[in-house]
Chains A and B, each alone.
Chain A
Amino acid sequence: MTTILDPSKLLFPRFGFIVNGQGRSYFTSDVMSVLRKAALVECTYYVGWGSVAQVNTVLDDLKASGVHTTHYMVMSEINSTDPSQSDLRTATLANGWLARKTSGEQVGWSNSYGAWDTNPLDVTAADGQGRRYPQWLGDRTLTNIAGYDLGGLKIDNVFGAPRTLYYNSGAGDWSATYTAQGANINVTTIDTNWLQDGVARNNFDEVVGRKMRQAYAALVARLRAGNPNLEIQGNLDSIGSAREYQCLFDSLQLEGLMGTSYGRYNAISPLAAMQFYIGASKNVRNPARNLMIGQSNTAASQRMELCFVLMGDGIHANTNLSPTATLPDEWVPGLLGTPVDAAQSAPTSGTVWMRRFTKGIALANVGGSSQTISGLPARLKKILGSAADGFNNGAVVNGSITLPANNGAVLLYY
């Protein structure tokens, strides 16, 4: 599929929203006016949300504005109680497509979502139509979204290796009793009967890891076979460079890259996070749709996150910023125009990153102390905005600016 992006959506900053489960009533005229400015909106609907025609009024409106829309799906887990997933529970139980310990209990990667893991590997039994879980789920998804004018699908939890931790210690399947098998997913005593051969396998098992990635590739292949026009985005916590994933997905979603304790930005370093961000752009088919998600909640850190993402060509979203929130001053489509510099792979100096655009520059100080950046182009000024920290006061910048720790700046030519 040749993907041609709307030129207006290639202007920077580029931002997106994740508005899953908000319901049709959510999309009021005020909200739609904000969403139309985005490059990407993950706007999953649910059964009962409305007729195809009603849903398409939203999707077509966004499409007409060049907004790429995606719909959420997940293969790794099934919710234990959600009525809309009852067919998933029935099919996986009937066909042996659930991940279990060698002693039979269900296993799961998290105890936070009321869900247990599936077993999508090719060692499981096929159903009457020769399908295993990836093919079955692919068909089910295509049926559910048939007729909807979606741009694509977002597959959540695309794990490149097994990562089970909990097991179901309650009475019977789908119990909400989660018991950890160890301190973390890296303990070698974790027991999952992935290959259904009665052998306990931990999360380091190479054969299982490869079969896991092959299962995701099989799901993507099934989806593409059914609808070649769907763009497939994977929410990976790798850069997608494993053999089975390399250029498999149209784009990646890097959730929690910034603003979390576990994301590379804080857990390793901003430079490692940027190298990860760059790596992700080399292992997909359409890197301009890569979505870099932050989770910070202060004006300064949100500004810094946006500026950090502006060092590359991806789309930025923040899980704390919904279309009804007061958005940062910098979240204005086309504010900076088009890039003058290529994507940046190293800081300009010290902890400061800079990238020039046709209408201004973006600066990000990723360090823990304030930095003075001098030698800036002439005729730049701050945005005149309403950020809570008063940073965007419209002041003229005469060749240099001092950026507080962990802060960013979008400066515009005047």
Chain B
Amino acid sequence: MAKTLSVIEVTTDQLASLPWQGNGVMVVAVDHPDTPLCFWHAASGRYQSLIDGFQPGGTLPRHIMGSYTWYGRPNPYQNNGRFILITGIPVGGSSLWRSNGVAWIPAYGHQQVLGRLGPSESQATTAEHIIDKLVLPGDILQSWGTLRVEANWYGSNNANAKTIRVTLADPNLGTEHWALSTGGMVSTGHGLTLCITRTTGFHKYLRSMNGGTGGVGFATAGGGADPLDTSYDFEVRFKAVKAVATDSLQLAQATVYGVYGEQ
């Protein structure tokens, strides 16, 4: 099938400004959305867009398409407008992201599932412990990212005390922050929805949006004012405790979302 070819003029200065590093050999010049003007970049073993190489700030031309871990993601400033696949987000899956020039934004809207849990086999006991947890990578919140946590629990429908709790934890330091919990009777299918936002920009501290006003999702005194540094891996932990050993209390499902505002 014939394709329409177009020609762009590239000056010798522009070519000289490209960081070829002796590894670039142009092999194709087809102006089509599926096969943009590109060359073979031996160092990375990929075809790379020539046009992308003229983007400001770039030290290497961008790859046409790529799959990356969160930590291996490209620099967003040098990849403005590009779409990439991130593996491991959500945990165990993958997702599509777009660079707006300063950050990576979920391609399909500004909310991204970061991980799911449940149903958990672990039962609550009379000693509070971690029922299940998600490990999220550092800088996952980027700029002004917000965590949204939804969890559904089920258990014995009686008046015996039961407490379900979500904490944000630093596995390196062994600290937990912002224990958000509810106590009292838990009926079958009881839900817990939390909105947690980073409000201090320095180290991506996380604080609860909810005041200590009671009800589902309030910050207990145990939460304190301690911040959580999310520039490196941190955990979202789901914990529970029950007063009567013969009662049941389990995590049915939990979903953790990242909500990202456009810059």
Contacts and interface: CB of A to CB of B under 8 A. Distances in A.
Contacts of B200: 161, 204, 206, 209
A246 B231 contact: no
A161 B202 CA distance: 6
A210 interface: yes
Contacts of A287: 75
B59 A288 contact: yes
A204 B143 contact: no
B43 interface: yes
Nearest to B70: A345
Nearest to A243: B143
Interface of A: 1-5, 7, 10, 159-161, 188, 204, 206, 209-210, 213, 238-239, 241-247, 264, 268-269, 271-272, 275-276, 278-279, 281-288, 338, 342-343, 345-346
A158 to B, nearest CB: 10
Contacts of A282: 73, 75-76, 139
What are the 5 tightest A-B residue pairs by CB atom distance, in nearest-first order? A242-B201, A345-B71, A160-B202, A275-B232, A247-B102
B203 A238 contact: yes
A243 B17 contact: no
Contacts, number: 123
Contact of A238 (B73, B101, B231): B231
Contacts of B102: 246-247
A244 B102 CA distance: 10
Contacts of A238: 201-204, 231
A307 B130 CA distance: 37
Given A160-B201, A246-B102, A272-B231, 17 more contacts: A4-B17, A4-B19, A161-B200, A161-B201, A209-B200, A209-B202, A238-B204, A238-B231, A241-B142, A241-B143, A243-B143, A268-B173, A268-B232, A275-B137, A275-B232, A275-B233, A282-B139
Contact of B56 (A1, A204, A264, A281): A1
B58 A276 contact: no
Contacts of A242: 143, 201-202
B58 A7 contact: no
Contact of B139 (A7, A213, A241, A271): A241
